[in-house]
Each structure stands twice: as C-alpha cells, then as structure tokens.
C-alpha cells in the first residue's frame, strides 16, 4: 500500500461514497463536528436490540472523513454496539501506536495507515465512529455502555 | 530597482536549501511568519549574557536585563511611530492584549453598556467580549460585513449608540484580507465618546507605521506574525486612557504598595504587566521590528501587492469553480488570499499541496467561524505572503492547485 496520505484507495473510496442518504424514522441519531476544519457528520441508526440494522446520514467532510464514513456504513450493519465500540477504540489506538506496520488497524481501516503520522488528521478518520457511538449512547434502551 | 525578496530570504536558515531535505514554499505567514536568524541570535545572546529578571534586582545582570527590556519597548514604540514608550505594554500576544482590554475596560462598564465588534473578527476579538457580556450583562453587537468581506462602515454611524463604550475591530482581516478604514471609523467612534480598539495582528507585519494617524485608542498585535518569537505581543494604548484603567491581572511587578486590605498600582505600562514579563521574547520582538524596518519596506509592500494580484488572477484562471473571498483585484488588501474550490475540502487541498508540492497553506475557519457562517461557506484555503516570498512560491501555488484539482476533483 502507498504511504502517501491521499493514496488512490482512499480517494476512490471517498469519491464513491454516497453521503446524503437519510434513514426514514431512525431509532437514534447524533451530529458531531470538528470545529477546527468544519467537518460535520450526522449519523442515523436503526437498531434491533443491541444490533445495528441500518446506518446512514449526511457527511460534510474531507476525503479522509468521507472515506472513513463510507467504510463504516459498509461494515457497521449487523454489528453489536460493543463490537463497534471496541473497533473504534482499536482504530484510535492504532492511529496513535508506534508500530511501523498496519497490523494493529482493524482490517477494514488498514488503508488509513499513512494517516498515523499526521496527528492533526486522526480526528478526520475518527469522526464518523464518534458520531455512531454518540448516536448509540442516545438510543433508548440500548446497552452500549454495559 | 525592483525589490529582491532573496535579500530577505538569506536571513532565514529555514529558507536556505541546505537546512531542509524538502522543498518549502511557505505561504502560511498570516498564522505565523518565519523567524530570521538575527532574532534568534538576539534572544540567545540575551539569555547567554544578560539573563535575569527585570525591574526588581540591583545586581549587574538585573540592571542590564532591565535596560535591554526597556530598550525593546522603545524599539517597538519607534516601529509604531509613537513618541512615548510608556504607551507600549508587553503582553503574551494579540489575544492577550484584547483580553487585558476587555477585562480592564469591562470593570468600568455599567450594565447594558455596549461593545460593538464585527462579523469579520477573529475569535480572539469575539470571545473576550462575550465573556464580559456573560459576566457583567453588557451587550455585544456586531457590525455587518459587506458581500466582499469588508466591515460595512456605512452601518457604523447608526450602530454606534450613546451606550456604546467600545468599538473593537480588525484592522486587516485574516480571512478576506480587507483593510478597515480606521481613520473614518475613529471619527464616528469618537463623536459618540467611545474608544476604538484595532486588532493589528495582520497589519503590523506591513512595516513601520504611523499609529497615531490611524486615530485608534488601542492597537494590539503579536510578535510571531512580525518575524518575532511566540509568546509576546503588544498592547498600545493612549496614555491618558491607560492611566485611568484598572489592572486586568494582578501580581508582582505591577504594584506600588501592597497591603492586606488594599494595594496601589504602578503607572502604565507596568500596571498591565503583572508577573515576570516575556523578557527574552521582548528582546526578540525588538530585534524583529528593527530588522524589518531596515529593509526596503516600500519595495516590499509593492512586491507583495504584485504577488497577491498574481495569486488572485492565477486562481481565477483555473477552471473548477474557485471563489476568492475579499475585495476585488485593485482594491486595497493585506497580502493574503482565501478561496473556496467547489466540491473540495480545504484540508484536502492543504494536504495535497504540502505532500506533492511543498506548499504550506492554511485551511479551515481561520478562527473566524461567524464570518464563515455569514458567508455560508464551510471553510476556506488561505495563502498568505511575507517579505521572503517570491514568484516561484506563487508558481508553486498555482501549478499545485491545478494538480490538486485534478487529483481531488
């Protein structure tokens, strides 16, 4: 994989993401933003107990943010809240780690390995996950914090 | 003879190619200018030979440090074109200067007094007044901005009321580059008996000035934008106002007599310099303004105007929907250009421009979120110039933007 921050895989992923699909009657939603650059994401979820059944929402962000949101939309369906929480934690740790390979990254997010050395851009990758976790925490009846 | 930016660039180790492995076109000067070697050397020399606290010791080092500190104050007064160095207060930066003013003048406000700022302001000239608003029940009102990013002075006459105590505005916008007509505004402000504060963070780097001619009552700026160090700035104020203002911060070095119930304070500027001041940084700031004043400042201004115009025209010619903020070409502006590219995020542009072209830009809100909200834009990319920038830097910017739009578009 290229060590360029904006390598083809990330750019293509961002370009093909559809960032404006809204869910009808979501069970919960949350909006998160990065005041530094103006990125803003609304994450809408449909839940069945602790399991995410659908995820969507508008993304106004940079390439990294859009690509990250696109991956999340693809892999979150069917995940339990705790699994998502754990994956977000792993990704956050991997971005901060000193390792010189991408093995500590959750598999779906390994394309973001070059972001590791750009500390100011970590929040761009994390924002969609933070939005999803915030939406879960605001979802009545979930047990995401158990 | 044409101005040669190379004669300034040689004074910066960071700009000499052997100091770096990668190409650098530094166009983020509105955030922080680079620092010439002579400024670093002045600070090293001071701390090596004269390091001591100021105003409180009688030993040789203390005397020498105090003398150097006060000479630095005089050098800044010269740069500003003011005759009395006691009107020059050393602060931590422009933000600290405005906070000192807000907290000191705020103590003199009555409930429902008004402070008038503008939608063009940097957060550093918004938040301090909002803090005072919440604490003391004053009102903060906003002068509107014209579509081309200038403070709408036509509205100022109506908006400055009898309860307006302070009008505090940018002298030059860090986003749109628009320069405020301070002279006209000061007439309106003084007619109503209010004070005018100018945030000079972006205009102070323009070279030595005739500050009294602007008609302001206060002017603040930061060292790090005038080729000086971080952690130091200046609050200039008219002495007859400063001497009637209460201190904003208390501590050592600003007192005359301290009792358990009551204390008295020194005259300005010391009244506003509580605690140990940024001595070394003040020495550095003085070295910086002296270095700049010794350059061909008139030539520099013309050179930067020409480069600014090249950027504006060059960006306009690129296809892809680039919108440039601020006054049109031909109108006066400080040497910076902020722009939006349809469909592209400023952070993506900045990253690609850095990684592929060695061009250092700034993207985002530039600490001016209300302005971006007013203009209904999600952020801008900004190129800002300084004395060492040349046509190669502009070429790199324009060529890089063309490439950037192909990659990200």
- What's the pLDDT tens digit per position in B223-248? 999 999 999 999 999 999 999 999 99
**CB-CB neighbors (< 8 A) of B348 in chain A:** 6, 62-63
| Inter-chain touch A63–B348, beta carbons under 8 Å | yes
| Inter-chain touch B347–A60, beta carbons under 8 Å | no
| Inter-chain touch B351–A11, beta carbons under 8 Å | no
pLDDT at A146: 39
**CB-CB neighbors (< 8 A) of A34 in chain B:** none
Q: In Å, how far are B47, B89, B113 from B75, measured between CA atoms? A: 19, 12, 37
**CB-CB neighbors (< 8 A) of B365 in chain A:** 35-38
DSSP letter (8 states) at residue A94: H
What are the residue ranges of helices labelled H in B55-93?
A: 60-80
Domains of chain B as residue ranges with CATH: 6-30+297-408 (3.90.1150.10), 40-293 (3.40.640.10)
Beta-sheet strands, E only, within B109-217: 114-118, 139-143, 164-170, 195-199
CA distance B64 to B66: 5
Give the minimum alpha-carbon distance from B347 to chain A in angstroms, rounded to a whole number: 6
A144 touches B: beta carbon within 8 Å: no
pLDDT at A144: 45
Residue B404 falls in the annotated catalytic set = no
The b/e string for B93-122 (b: 16+ C-beta within 10 A; e otherwise) is bbbbbbbbbbbbbbeebeeebbbbbbbbbb
pLDDT at A87: 96
Q: Enter the ipTM.
A: 0.80
Angle separating helix axes B60-80 and B37-49, nearest 10 degrees:
150
pLDDT at A141: 58
pLDDT at B94: 98
Q: In Å, how far are B69, B81, B288, B301 from B208, measured between CA atoms? A: 20, 7, 11, 11
| Weakly modelled stretches of chain A, pLDDT under 70 | 1-3, 19-20, 140-146
Angle subtended at Cα B117 by Cα B116 and Cα B120, rounded to the nearest 5 degrees:
155
- Both structure tokens of A1: 């994989």
Give the minimum alpha-carbon distance from B118 to chain A in angstroms, rounded to a whole number: 20
Give the minimum alpha-carbon distance from B29 to chain A in angstroms, rounded to a whole number: 18
pLDDT tens sequence for chain B (409 residues): 799 999 999 999 999 866 667 889 999 999 999 999 999 999 999 999 999 999 888 899 999 999 999 999 999 999 999 999 999 999 999 999 999 999 999 999 998 999 999 999 999 999 999 999 999 999 999 999 999 999 999 999 999 999 999 999 999 999 999 999 999 999 999 999 999 999 999 999 999 999 999 999 999 999 999 999 999 999 999 999 999 999 999 999 899 999 999 999 999 999 999 999 999 999 999 999 999 999 999 999 999 999 999 999 999 999 778 999 999 877 889 999 999 999 899 999 999 999 999 999 999 889 998 998 888 888 899 999 999 999 999 999 999 999 999 988 8
Domains of chain A as residue ranges with CATH: 8-137 (3.90.1010.10)
| Inter-chain touch A121–B351, beta carbons under 8 Å | yes
**CB-CB neighbors (< 8 A) of A62 in chain B:** 345, 347-348
pLDDT at B253: 87
pLDDT at B18: 60
CA distance B287 to B5: 19
SS3 (DSSP) at B221: strand
What secondary structure does DSSP assign to B342-401, as a single string? TT--HHHHHHHHHHHH-EE-EEE-TT-HHHHHHHT-S-EEEEE--TT--HHHHHHHHHHH
Pick from B355, B363, B379: CB nearest A4: B355
SS3 (DSSP) at A33: strand
Cβ(B161)–Cβ(B145) under 8 Å? no
Please tell me which residue in B38, B340, B350, B367 is annotated as part of the active site: B367
pLDDT at B20: 67
pLDDT at A138: 85
């Amino acid at each position: 994989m290229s060590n360029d921050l904006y390598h083809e895989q990330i750019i293509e992923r961002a370009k093909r993401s559809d960032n404006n699909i809204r869910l009808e009657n979501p069970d919960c939603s949350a909006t998160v933003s990065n005041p530094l650059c103006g990125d803003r994401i609304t994450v809408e979820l449909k839940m069945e107990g602790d399991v995410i059944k659908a995820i969507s929402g508008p993304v106004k962000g940079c390439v990294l943010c859009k690509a990250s949101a696109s991956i999340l939309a693809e892999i979150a369906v069917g995940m339990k809240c705790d699994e998502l929480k754990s994956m977000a934690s792993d990704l956050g740790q991997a971005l901060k780690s000193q390792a010189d390979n991408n093995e500590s990254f959750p598999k779906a997010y390994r394309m973001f390995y070059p972001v590791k050395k750009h500390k100011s851009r970590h929040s761009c990758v994390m924002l969609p996950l933070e939005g999803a976790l915030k939406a879960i925490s605001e979802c009545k009846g979930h047990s995401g914090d158990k | 003879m044409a101005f040669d930016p190379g004669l300034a660039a040689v004074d910066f180790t960071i700009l000499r190619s052997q100091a770096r492995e990668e190409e650098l076109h530094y166009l983020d000067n509105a955030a922080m200018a680079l620092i010439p070697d002579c400024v670093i050397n002045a600070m090293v020399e001071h701390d090596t030979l004269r390091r001591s606290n100021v105003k409180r010791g009688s030993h040789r080092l203390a005397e020498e440090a105090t003398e150097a500190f006060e000479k630095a104050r005089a050098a800044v007064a010269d740069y500003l074109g003011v005759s009395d160095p006691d009107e020059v207060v050393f602060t931590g930066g422009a933000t600290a200067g405005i906070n000192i003013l807000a907290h000191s003048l705020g103590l003199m406000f009555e409930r429902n007094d008004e402070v008038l700022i503008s939608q063009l302001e940097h957060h550093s000239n918004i938040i301090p007044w909002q803090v005072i608003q919440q604490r003391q029940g004053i009102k903060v009102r906003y002068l509107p901005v014209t579509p081309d990013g200038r403070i709408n002075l036509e509205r100022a006459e109506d908006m400055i009321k009898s309860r307006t105590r302070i009008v505090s505005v940018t002298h030059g916008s860090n986003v749109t580059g628009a320069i405020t007509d301070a002279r006209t505004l000061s007439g309106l402000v003084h007619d109503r008996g209010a004070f005018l504060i100018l945030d000079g963070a972006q205009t102070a780097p323009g070279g030595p000035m005739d500050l009294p001619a602007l008609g302001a009552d206060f002017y603040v700026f930061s060292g790090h934008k005038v080729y000086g160090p971080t952690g130091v700035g200046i609050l200039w104020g008219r002495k007859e106002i400063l001497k009637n203002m209460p201190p904003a911060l208390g501590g050592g070095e600003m007192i005359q007599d301290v009792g358990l119930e009551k204390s008295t304070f020194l005259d300005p500027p010391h009244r506003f310099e509580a605690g140990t001041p940024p001595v070394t940084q003040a020495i550095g700031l003085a070295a910086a303004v002296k270095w700049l004043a010794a350059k061909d400042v008139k030539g520099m201004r013309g050179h930067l105007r020409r480069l600014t115009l090249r950027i504006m025209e060059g960006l306009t010619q690129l296809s892809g929907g680039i919108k440039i903020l601020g006054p049109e070409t031909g109108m006066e502006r400080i040497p910076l250009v902020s722009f939006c590219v349809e469909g592209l995020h400023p952070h993506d542009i900045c990253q690609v421009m850095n990684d592929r072209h060695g061009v250092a830009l700034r993207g985002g809100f530039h600490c001016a979120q209300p302005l971006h909200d007013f203009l209904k834009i999600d952020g801008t990319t900004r190129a800002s110039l300084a004395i060492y920038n040349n046509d190669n830097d502009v070429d790199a910017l324009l060529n890089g933007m063309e490439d950037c739009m192909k990659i990200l578009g």
